[in-house]
């Protein structure tokens, strides 16, 4: 094993942080790692808003469901897909296509993952915040995001004040296929995985949460999440064609 693989395999979401700040050289290293992520067609279709103003951070936290770690982490960044930059410098550029949303989302996700891996390699921890999409129109106004910029997710980064166990992942046989997608899967594998997830939640919460993976998926996918999203994307100039 290599140190890089050790960092990748030991990932845990950290939601409790100390008050210790992140050093400037650490921030610089994380930003450099983010920018080193691959970019489709070299479009570099992302922007990152670093929230340093305490009052603004509290407002953003409120829009993210008042998740305390959004306010407590040493750093909170909002990762955005960004095609405004392209129109700014090349006004005749053609935008609004659905494929561009995919490009922006993928580019931005890769930057986010690079950022977190870099932070973890420095002994820091973090957690991604999908709740920045809870009130996207309000967040656009709050952060002054122009048309062509869409908030995708947030990232808390800081010094960990907890040491949770890694979540058990799906059996490899259920995710890695050779040549063709495998539609028929072993029910026994899923049953065993459900028990592993149930044990994880019971242990992590002291028995306050008892849920299997399939139970969690059933609850999460019982209805449409964020039904306003397509209209919001249209308002920001995405998926128009």
Mean pLDDT of the chain: 96
In a domain, 217, yes or no: no
User: CA angle 87-138-68, nearest 5°?
Assistant: 120
Same domain, 18 and 114: yes
Same domain, 70 and 109: yes
Same domain, 81 and 199: no
In a domain, 25, yes or no: yes
233 Cβ contact partners less than 8 Å away, ≥ 6 residues apart: 101, 150, 239
158 Cβ contact partners less than 8 Å away, ≥ 6 residues apart: 14, 17, 18, 20, 22, 72, 73, 74, 75, 124, 125, 126
Query: Please, are residues 200 and 168 in contact by the beta-carbon 8 Å criterion?
Result: yes
Please write the tens of the pLDDT for every residue from 25-49.
999 999 999 999 999 999 999 999 9
Same domain, 97 and 176: no
199 Cβ contact partners less than 8 Å away, ≥ 6 residues apart: none
In a domain, 218, yes or no: no
Please write the tens of the pLDDT for every residue from 184-216.
999 999 999 999 999 999 988 777 889 999 999
Same domain, 35 and 150: yes
Distance CA 28, CA 156 (A): 16
pLDDT at 1: 81
Same domain, 27 and 111: yes
Helix, coil or strand: residue 177:
coil
In a domain, 142, yes or no: yes
Task: For residue 9, give the CATH number of its domain.
Answer: 3.40.109.10
Q: How many structural domains does the chain have?
A: 2
Same domain, 84 and 155: yes
Same domain, 199 and 154: no
Same domain, 150 and 188: no
pLDDT at 209: 87
Please write the tens of the pLDDT for every residue from 127-173.
999 999 999 999 999 999 999 999 999 999 999 999 999 999 999 99
Q: Please, what's the largest Cα pairwise distance for the chain?
A: 58
Same domain, 126 and 181: no
Q: Which domain holds residue 184?
A: 172-210
Q: Computed from CA positions of residues 12, 62, 83, 77, in that sequence, does the dihedral angle turn out positive or negative?
A: negative
With b meaning 16 or more CB within 10 Å and e meaning fewer, what string describes 7-31? beeeebebbbbeeeebeeebbebbb
- pLDDT > 90 in the chain, percent: 97
Residue 10 tokens read as: 């030991």
Same domain, 69 and 107: yes
User: pLDDT tier at 13 (50, 70, 90 boundaries)?
Assistant: very high
Question: Is the full-model pTM beyond 0.85?
Answer: yes
Match 């005749």 to its residue by tokens. 92
User: pLDDT tier at 89 (50, 70, 90 boundaries)?
Assistant: very high
Same domain, 159 and 178: no
């Amino acid at each position: 094993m290599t140190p890089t693989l050790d960092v990748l395999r030991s990932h845990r979401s950290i939601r409790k942080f100390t008050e210790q700040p992140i050093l400037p050289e650490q921030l610089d290293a994380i930003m450099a790692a983010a920018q080193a992520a691959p970019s489709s067609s070299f479009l570099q279709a992302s922007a990152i808003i670093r929230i340093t103003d305490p009052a603004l951070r509290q407002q953003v936290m409120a829009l993210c469901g008042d998740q305390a770690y959004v306010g407590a982490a040493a750093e909170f960044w909002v990762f955005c897909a960004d095609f405004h930059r392209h129109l700014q410098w090349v006004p005749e550029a053609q935008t609004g296509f659905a494929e561009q949303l995919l490009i922006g989302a993928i580019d931005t996700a890769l930057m986010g993952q690079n950022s977190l891996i870099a932070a973890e390699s420095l002994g820091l921890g973090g957690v991604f915040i999908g709740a920045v999409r809870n009130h996207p129109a309000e967040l656009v106004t709050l952060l002054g995001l122009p048309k062509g910029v869409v908030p995708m997710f947030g990232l808390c980064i800081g010094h960990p004040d907890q040491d949770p166990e890694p979540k058990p992942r799906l059996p490899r046989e259920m995710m890695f296929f050779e040549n063709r997608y495998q539609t028929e899967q072993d029910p026994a594998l899923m049953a065993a995985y459900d028990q592993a997830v149930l044990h994880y939640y019971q242990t992590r919460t002291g028995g306050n949460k008892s849920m299997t993976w399939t139970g969690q998926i059933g609850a999460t996918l019982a209805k449409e999440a964020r039904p306003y999203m397509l209209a919001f994307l249209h308002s920001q100039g995405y998926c128009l064609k």
